[in-house]
Chains A and B, each alone.
Chain A
Amino acid sequence: MASIRFVLKRIALLVPVLFGVATVVFAILHLAPGDPARVIAGQRASAEQLEQVRRELGLHRPLWIQYLSFLGDAAQFDFGQSYSISRGAPVRSVLLDRLPVTLELAILGQLAGIFLGLPLGILSAIRQDSLTDHVTRIGALTGISVPIFWSGPLLILAFATYLDWFPTSGRIDSTLFLPDSWHLLGRELPLTGLVTVDSLLLGNWTAFTSAVHHLFLPALVIGIYSTALISRMMRSSMLEVVRQDYMRTARAKGQGARITVLKHGFRNALIPVVTIIGIQFGTLLGGAVLTETVFGINGMGLTIVTAIGALDYPVVQGTVLTFALLFTLVNLVVDITYGYLDPRIQQ
């Protein structure tokens, strides 16, 4: 089947990119100033102690051996142990702990963007130059110009500090604890780590409302940005499509305007928008980093910021690689979707 070959080809193309990504991350952190051994052993460590730590970390080996062993470990998602921020804990477990937190924020924001942005963009395009169009366009342009680290604090000040409608930080009430697993038909299954999903799976309504309550503002901050972006792309893509001949043909056949726009226009206009959603997912992940910092949510973003400050290189390496992998995978899915929406691409 052609489409399976297309998918496999896309995946094969990823290998050199991911190899390059790992190389860049290795290079960056070996260029970084600061001695890992000193971070672990402390400022007052003696020369022998430092030497011993270096030996334990394998830093005494030639650079190319360190590089190869890094690649081998990274391929197995093993980044060693955290130097300082979760001292001694495997980086992998730190990452697995925090990844769902960031994913949940990014997904909620992206969903808000898709559900609000697509209709707004279509509306704006089919009523080109109307008041609706102008308001949407200027609103969207403002939306992408406002940095998350400004809209976040302003929303907190207005709705948490002054009005007290929402909590100022965190992602669930600190008195609530969710277990690690849940039961379905007598079997024990692991949880997702996404608080909104887990609380529903567990049927814990109190936890669910608390999670929604906590995540509303952070998701809104990301959602505003993503809505603005998607509505802009949808508008310009839709404007291009409505001028196509097949749209006129459909109308000439006597098809209603609404059906024409939704059936012929929407699907074709979606193609470039899907690509943009993929490319912008990287920016959205950056947005999640900033949002976590503003709202004090302990995800991958807050982790990398703390880790860089604390010279915790294994954690930095692991986090950056995970982010790059995530971004690359999203773009893989986007490429495949693109091939599905426009079969010509598969050729």
Chain B
Amino acid sequence: MSTETRRRGAVDRLRASPFLSKLLSNRLALVGLTIILGMLAIALYARITLDPQALASSRLGTAVPDRAPPGWTGTGPADQYLFGTDSAARDIYERCLYGAWLALQFGTITVGTSTVVGVGLGIVAAYYGDVTDNVVMRTMDVLLAFPPLLLALALVAIFPRELGLWRAVAALTLVYTPRFARVIRGAALTVLEDEYVDATVALGATDPRVLVRHVLPNTLAPITVQSTLNFGLAIIDLAALSFLGFGAQAGTPSWGLMLSRGVDNGLLTGRWWLSFFPGLFLAVTVLGFNLLGDGMRDALDPRMREAID
């Protein structure tokens, strides 16, 4: 088979896929996709045009970036500053835009790493069974026995403060990996029952070949759904760790840290714009991933499909 025909075959399969056509006919999922693409555009725009150094440092000449000199309160939204300014006279609008870059970048790294590690562990556990399965899955069970944010908080304590957001990424990767391992192990076990796997083994295929060429492609759908649904959670958790003071370092324009400053400096004085705008960006982004993830899950669930046909 030439690569050309193989490629055409793939495109036809994609077009005929009930999963994609169902997903594309789901209006809410499309809204979610639009939100995500919009945020991605904002993130790239911010990455190219804005200087993170300038966004981080105080415009009032104070040494500590987030500390305001006495008497300074920041200003509410006005013509020049659409979203107002914070206690270091920085433009909240620009900081919110750059926050999109940080959220998507670190969210992708967190979800990406835990997907890869979780998928690897899940497939290996399912394929080798026995002791391997037990060791891997019991370890995952232990990690799943912690409330997620609490495990992340305990793990964050291991890593040095200077790592900033990377510290949160490392902790959350360990928190998220077991979720992927568990789902993928289940999906892989179903695939392994199919006869073609036995046939492949009988034909002399090596373990890695069976896993990568046959098991992995057939578990891609649940992997994708799980990643999308966890993307929203990862972005919230990254922001939560920054909010609690264990993520982004002082001055960084991350939404979580901005919200934390909003609580410190804005709640009692009624400066709502400190909290409102970064939180809005955060919530809309997460909503986007949840809408898309929900649509994907509905499109995938065969029982739902039967019920609708």
Residues of A within 8 A of B (CB): 16-18, 20-21, 23-25, 28-29, 31-33, 138, 141-142, 144-147, 149-150, 153-154, 156-157, 160-162, 168, 239-240, 243, 281-283, 285-286, 289-290, 293-294, 304-305, 308-309, 316, 319-320, 323-324, 327-328
Contact = CB atoms under 8 A, between A and B. Distances in A.
B268 A168 contact: yes
Q: Which has the most chain B C-beta neighbours within 10 Å: A29, A145, A160, A323?
A: A145
B283 A146 contact: yes
Interface in B232-256: 232, 236, 239-240, 243-246, 256
Contact of A32 (B157, B260, B282): B157
B146 A150 contact: no
Given A141-B294, A145-B283, A161-B268, A17 B142 contact: yes
A157 B266 CA distance: 8
Given A147-B236, A147-B239, A316-B157, A290 B244 contact: yes
B160 interface: yes
18 contacts: A17-B141, A20-B145, A21-B142, A24-B142, A138-B28, A142-B287, A145-B286, A147-B259, A147-B279, A149-B260, A150-B279, A153-B263, A285-B147, A290-B244, A293-B243, A319-B150, A323-B150, A324-B147
Contacts of B143: 24
Nearest to B293: A141
Contacts of A144: 290
Contact of A28 (B28, B155, B276): B155
A297 B282 CA distance: 24
B102 to A, nearest CB: 15
A253 to B, nearest CB: 24
**Interface residues of chain B: helix, strand, loop or mixed (majority):** helix
Q: Which 9 A-B pairs have the closest CB atoms?
A: A286-B149, A150-B279, A20-B142, A282-B147, A145-B287, A153-B275, A285-B147, A145-B286, A323-B150
B290 A141 contact: yes
A82 to B, nearest CB: 16
A290 B243 contact: yes
Contact of B275 (A28, A33, A154, A168): A154
Interface of B: 28, 138-139, 141-143, 145-151, 153-158, 160, 232, 236, 239-240, 243-246, 256, 259-260, 262-263, 266-270, 272, 275-276, 279-280, 282-284, 286-287, 290-291, 294, 303, 307
Interface SS of A by simple majority: helix
Contacts of B157: 28-29, 32, 308, 316
A234 to B, nearest CB: 15
A147 B145 contact: no
B166 to A, nearest CB: 15
Contacts of B269: 161
Contacts of B260: 149
A309 B245 contact: yes
Contacts of A23: 142
Contacts of B303: 240
Contacts of A31: 158
A142 to B, nearest CB: 6
